Structure 1
Amino acid sequence: MPQPENHAIAAALLPLVGGAGNIDSIAHCMTRLRLGLKDRALVDDEALRALPAVLGVVEDDTYQIVLGPGTVARVTGELRTLTDPGGPGEPGEPEQPFTAAELAARGANMKAARKAANTTPAKHLLRRIANIFVPLIPALIGCGIIAGLNGLLVNLGWLPGVTPALAAIASGFMALIAVFVGYNTANEFGGTPVLGGAVASIIVFAGVAKITVFGQPLAPGQGGVLGALGAALIAVYVERWCRRHVPEAVDVLLTPTLTVLTAGLITLYGLMFVAGEVSAAIGHGANWLLDHTGAFAGLVLGGLFLPLVMLGLHQALIPIHTTLIEQQGYTVLLPILAMAGAGQVGCAAAVYLRAKHNASLRATIKSALPAGFLGVGEPLIYGVSLPLGRPFVTACVGGAAGGAFVGLFSMLGTKVGSTAIGPSGWALFPLLQGNHGPGAAVAIYAGGLATGYAVGFATTYAFGFTRETLAALNTPPPPHPAPRDAARARAEM
């Protein structure tokens, strides 16, 4: 049964992206509705931004409408019931200087420039890797929250008859995540998805313990998600070779057999060992970095994350996060990187106070701040801080301060991690875990957020504006002519 609000949002979006015939694909991630469009020019970008449910628009390889966590999944389902996949969109035109609409248009132009800069082969590859892991995020979040709840019950000694069941529910997906990575990898790179999953499943099969490579027995799961990704890629290339050289009459028999056999042998007798070493190095490297240079590492990671997002390079971190979760049960990097959002929120609050005579900009900030507290930063980034220039830098300073706070405690022996990737801001609290339990992790993360808010606010308030910018921000737009004046002007023409 469709929910009226979500159905209404989907119905409102559809004509503004060019209708059902303009949409090639419909998907979503944590916060964004991702549309593949046939004709970008058919999108009414200005009307889209004006919809109350729309928190922002991001143009990348797909047209992305920011709706926020929870809402996006429901609206995606409603949109699919209204149409077959398809659709793109365009940025609005600037209006009066330093109005909310003009700043949004500047942000749209910056996004377009970023998209043009992100067409390099390396960044395209990173986007494809992100496409492999993003569909797994809902399961990671669900299982991560259940794992945290189970840990809390175990520590308290409550419901001992239920905790084994919760442990099984939380761990089942992670035990087989390699299969899902293999399936998505083959699908993304043009192979048969089930063959990619079949080869990747070798990695988690218990029987690999009977196989010796380089004088050592293999361990089930050795190589993890990186091994699964590599195994599926090998399967894709073997399958392509078979499609070109195997006679059509026996293709249905030989191609899947040769694909699984060849890629499987390479996985067992080389890839699992190499990927295992790389995965172990990632885990050791992350722990060493925070144990020995925690405050500095946190400052750098928290301060540079917003620029990494702008360049699309943050996508390279997705398999690293997943590897750490697979190895340790949580990623120690995500809570530090989430501090970038705290700096952004503090920055926006300062802009709100400094632009006290700019009603349109203050209205934009007021509507976007709740999403910013929940870790959805696009509306504030592209609608406020980035177009203004200096506030984007001061937001990064706030993120650096929050990251240094969390990193310092890691250096002192208390690690803060997330059992899943995807959420940030306040939405990350249910997923927090660490080497001293969730209580300590929550307290340190909250302290980091408070630091990021405070430093982002203070630096933006004090250094975020030149005198000229502040004057332009607070100059009211020219009044519209009164009806009588307008009539007189028409008569004089």
Structure 2
Amino acid sequence: MSEENKHHATAAAILPLVGGAANVTSVAHCMTRLRLGLRDRALVRDEQLKALQAVLGVVEDDTYQIVLGPGTVARVTPEFEALVEAENARSAPASPAPADPDRGSGTGTAEALAAQGAALKAERKAKNSTPFKLFLRRIANIFVPLIPALIGCGIIAGLNGLLVNLHWLPGVTPALAAMASGFMALIAVFVGYHTAKEFGGTPILGGAVASVIVYAGVADVEAFGRHLSPGQGGVLGALGAAWLGVYVEKWCRRRVPESVDVLVTPTVTVLVAGLATLFGLMFLAGEVSTLIGDAADWLLSHGGAGAGFLLGGLFLPLVMLGLHQALIPIHTTLIEGAGFTVLLPILAMAGAGQVGAAIAIYYRLSRNTSIRTTIKSALWPGFLGVGEPLIYGVSLPLGRPFITACTGGAFGGAFVGLFNQLGTDVGSTAIGPSGWALFPLLDGNHGLGRTVAVYAAGLLVGYVAGFLATYYFGFTRTMLTELDAAPDSPADGDVAPGERVAEKV
């Protein structure tokens, strides 16, 4: 089967298991997950969905998220969207279908399923829809669409740096530098566009307001006694400028007569938000950006090992709580300022601890074929930085191994942080990948060779620490007795992979 047919088949297999096209309200994807908005959560057949070969796991949040892995999700999503559109187009002209006799008439089972789905959705939202988390989710929604460009340009920047250091292809390196830097030079415009889109304004007006930040002519503007510089304030300034533009635009829409709205509203939006950006936001955001860069440098130069231990150890819990989204604008600000973020390689050690823990679980539960099968299928994605299958399918349901996985991440983070403290910066030119997938994006202040060596050694420390912590401290005697029963014993029974974990822990 060709790659195109394989991705089409995956999409076609997923669609009926999520309730069909009529149950899908929105389709999007991030680095690893197909994110679906659903009308009725009760129509989803979870176990059959998880059993699909291409599906690495599922996560419920404000959207229903199907983990497919990097690369795969970007190819499956358009196939899935096309299937949804085609199915909706076929059903649109038809008159309302008669009640299904198997589901009752009108007010029977259909309403019960709808009520059940609404209850499940409300329960999930109650846990994850605090104002702070909703705000962080909106910030993440602004930056997630930019990640593919950050990755592509970051890899080109790394390739260009290698060619420059080797004095190869001198006629090509200026072109590569232009490709790598062009997007970063205009990233404020894209941030402004997506900010306005996320907060309910006109996206192009958000981009227009944010574009003044990167315009070369701002060097002639004086604010707070200083001349501005192009790019000052960066993505933080763009966020503030576009958000203010949305507020002004909505104010105008409520008050400006419809007959002149098309002329007045865009003009007032760009004028008011633009002036506020030039004479206030750019300077203030620039100061905050400088503080963020200085704080990261100070943190790792003075407390590198300790800071790395905390960051590497706490990152998995932050992901579970959704608080890691607050780091996205910080990463982007560091990349804008220094060319790379020193935080991401440390945080990536959390994935190394998770992999080490999974290997230890594999050996400790030598007779539990269901868990070992899950680990075998999820381990290689884990090495490449896709940790959801191991987290949600193995360590988190077990409990203690999740904590020991965090311990492995802490020791890996401490190792990389120590080298930062000793003067060897280990950074990433883009956000998104981790694990082995981060190698092409590495950069630092002492050459690529040393940077790669420190990061690789940090991964090894994370693997070993996660393995040892889990092997020796990840299980109580009771857990081992219950989870590692012989295959033919009553404890095993005829259960599906993963069911025993949910029952015993």
With normalisation by structure 1, the TM-score equals 0.91
Cα offset, 1:117, TM superposition: 2.7
Match of 1:377 in 2: 387
Code of the residue aligned with 1:347 in structure 2: it is: A
**Structure 2 portions without partners, runs of 5+:** 89-120, 495-505
Cα offset, 1:473, TM superposition: 0.7
Match of 1:472 in 2: 482
Match of 1:157 in 2: 167
Code of the residue aligned with 2:337 in structure 1: it is: Q
Within 5 Å, give how 1:191-202 maps onto structure 2: 191-202=201-212
Match of 1:55 in 2: 56
The separation in 1 between residues aligned to 2:200 and 2:180, in whole angstroms, is 31
Code of the residue aligned with 2:373 in structure 1: it is: A
Alignment CA distance shift 1:113-1:400 (3 Å) = farther
Within 5 Å, give how 1:158-307 maps onto structure 2: 158-307=168-317
The separation in 2 between residues aligned to 1:178 and 1:23, in whole angstroms, is 32
The separation in 1 between residues aligned to 2:193 and 2:81, in whole angstroms, is 23
The separation in 2 between residues aligned to 1:312 and 1:142, in whole angstroms, is 26
Match of 1:345 in 2: 355
Alignment CA distance shift 1:416-1:267 (3 Å) = same
Alignment CA distance shift 1:219-1:165 (3 Å) = same
Match of 1:135 in 2: 145
Match of 2:472 among 455, 459, 462: 462
Cα offset, 1:21, TM superposition: 1.1
The separation in 2 between residues aligned to 1:254 and 1:262, in whole angstroms, is 12
Contact 1:343 1:395 in 2 (8 A): yes
Cα offset, 1:113, TM superposition: 7.8
* 1:252-283 deviation line (CA, Å, top 9, x unaligned): 10000000000000000000010000000000
The separation in 1 between residues aligned to 2:62 and 2:86, in whole angstroms, is 15
Contact 1:2 1:78 in 2 (8 A): no
* 1:338-392 deviation line (CA, Å, top 9, x unaligned): 0000000000000010111100110001100011001111111111111111101
Cα offset, 1:80, TM superposition: 1.5
Contact 1:37 1:86 in 2 (8 A): no
Contact 1:25 1:85 in 2 (8 A): no
* 1:285-331 deviation line (CA, Å, top 9, x unaligned): 00111111100000000000000001100000000000001111100
The separation in 2 between residues aligned to 1:401 and 1:257, in whole angstroms, is 54
Which has the larger displacement, 143-152 or 379-388? 379-388
Q: RMSD of the alignment, in Å?
A: 1.8
Alignment CA distance shift 1:85-1:365 (3 Å) = farther
Which has the larger displacement, 30-39 or 197-206? 30-39
Alignment CA distance shift 1:427-1:112 (3 Å) = farther
The separation in 1 between residues aligned to 2:122 and 2:157, in whole angstroms, is 40
SS of the residue 1:203 aligns to: coil
Alignment CA distance shift 1:86-1:325 (3 Å) = farther
The separation in 2 between residues aligned to 1:453 and 1:274, in whole angstroms, is 42
Match of 2:334 among 309, 318, 324: 324
SS of the residue 2:35 aligns to: strand
Cα offset, 1:24, TM superposition: 1.2
Cα offset, 1:137, TM superposition: 0.2
Match of 1:43 in 2: 44
Alignment CA distance shift 1:68-1:290 (3 Å) = same
Cα offset, 1:37, TM superposition: 1.1
The separation in 2 between residues aligned to 1:178 and 1:85, in whole angstroms, is 36
Alignment CA distance shift 1:230-1:85 (3 Å) = farther
Contact 1:16 1:48 in 2 (8 A): yes
Match of 2:85 in 1: 84
Cα offset, 1:118, TM superposition: 2.1
Code of the residue aligned with 1:459 in structure 2: it is: A
The separation in 2 between residues aligned to 1:337 and 1:370, in whole angstroms, is 19
SS of the residue 2:267 aligns to: helix
Verify: 1:16 aligned to 2:17, yes or no.
yes
Code of the residue aligned with 2:360 in structure 1: it is: A
The separation in 1 between residues aligned to 2:126 and 2:150, in whole angstroms, is 32
Which of the pair has the greater relative contact order for Cα pairs under 8 Å at 6+ separation? 1
Alignment CA distance shift 1:441-1:116 (3 Å) = farther
Contact 1:33 1:72 in 2 (8 A): yes
* 1:206-235 deviation line (CA, Å, top 9, x unaligned): 000000111100010000000000000000
The separation in 2 between residues aligned to 1:85 and 1:271, in whole angstroms, is 46
Code of the residue aligned with 2:10 in structure 1: it is: I
The separation in 1 between residues aligned to 2:391 and 2:493, in whole angstroms, is 30
Code of the residue aligned with 2:41 in structure 1: it is: R
Match of 1:392 among 383, 395, 402: 402
SS of the residue 1:61 aligns to: coil
Cα offset, 1:443, TM superposition: 0.5
Cα offset, 1:466, TM superposition: 0.4
The separation in 2 between residues aligned to 1:439 and 1:8, in whole angstroms, is 42
Aligned residues: 459
SS of the residue 1:83 aligns to: helix
The separation in 2 between residues aligned to 1:25 and 1:82, in whole angstroms, is 13
Alignment CA distance shift 1:435-1:152 (3 Å) = same
Contact 1:24 1:86 in 2 (8 A): no
SS of the residue 2:314 aligns to: helix
Which has the larger displacement, 32-41 or 259-268? 32-41
The separation in 1 between residues aligned to 2:40 and 2:245, in whole angstroms, is 34
Which has the larger displacement, 229-238 or 437-446? 437-446
Cα offset, 1:399, TM superposition: 0.2
Cα offset, 1:115, TM superposition: 5.5
The separation in 2 between residues aligned to 1:140 and 1:65, in whole angstroms, is 23
The separation in 2 between residues aligned to 1:214 and 1:200, in whole angstroms, is 20
SS of the residue 2:432 aligns to: coil
Cα offset, 1:36, TM superposition: 1.1
Code of the residue aligned with 2:211 in structure 1: it is: S
The separation in 2 between residues aligned to 1:368 and 1:2, in whole angstroms, is 21
Alignment CA distance shift 1:241-1:3 (3 Å) = same
Match of 1:31 in 2: 32
Within 5 Å, give how 1:473-488 maps onto structure 2: 473-475=483-485, 476=487, 478=490
The separation in 2 between residues aligned to 1:227 and 1:418, in whole angstroms, is 23
Code of the residue aligned with 1:119 in structure 2: it is: S
Match of 1:3 in 2: 4
